[in-house]
Amino acid sequence: MDLKDFEPKSDTLTISLLDSNGNPIADENSAFTIDLYKAHTSQARKVLYELNDRAIERKRDAKTEEVYGDYYDKAARLTAGWDLIYDGAPLPFSVEKARELYEKFPWIIEQVYKAINESESDSFMKP
């Protein structure tokens, strides 16, 4: 065994969106997947550092709206891309579009956060 075997092999994690029964959503036009930056990447660290610094600066003076804003910002900024169809056409990716998507579809952001949390806690254990 070698410690090198436990280095991350990729910078992103791809999740498949699931319907309310836990089945992957997919058709011939789209896999309905979202790519997320893993916690070890510079992109993820930058987002996490900025949001933590913002929280420290606000301390107890944070408003609920600001806290929820950070919740959506984190998910949107950790999103690296996607393969999604909306209104019959491929949905172009941008961080702004990701935030809009997550605000409009709470069940999607729940799946994104589940994947982020699992990735953060499991990444050091899986070679």
Q: State the pLDDT at residue 112.
A: 96
Q: What is the pTM of this model?
A: 0.84
Domain limits for position 51: 11-122
Task: Please give the chain's pLDDT, 127 residues, in tens.
Answer: 888 887 888 899 999 999 999 999 988 878 899 999 998 899 999 999 998 888 888 777 777 787 788 899 999 999 999 999 999 999 999 999 999 999 999 999 999 999 988 876 555 444 4
Q: Tell me, what CATH number does 97's domain have? A: 3.30.2220
In a domain, 6, yes or no: no
Question: 64 is written with which tokens?
Answer: 């609920």
Provide DSSP, 16-66: E-B-TTSPBP--SS---EEEEE-TTSHHHHHHHHHHHHHHHHHGGG--HHH
In a domain, 2, yes or no: no
In a domain, 82, yes or no: yes
In a domain, 5, yes or no: no
In a domain, 76, yes or no: yes
Q: State the pLDDT at residue 29.
A: 77
In a domain, 4, yes or no: no
Into how many domains does the chain fold? Answer: 1
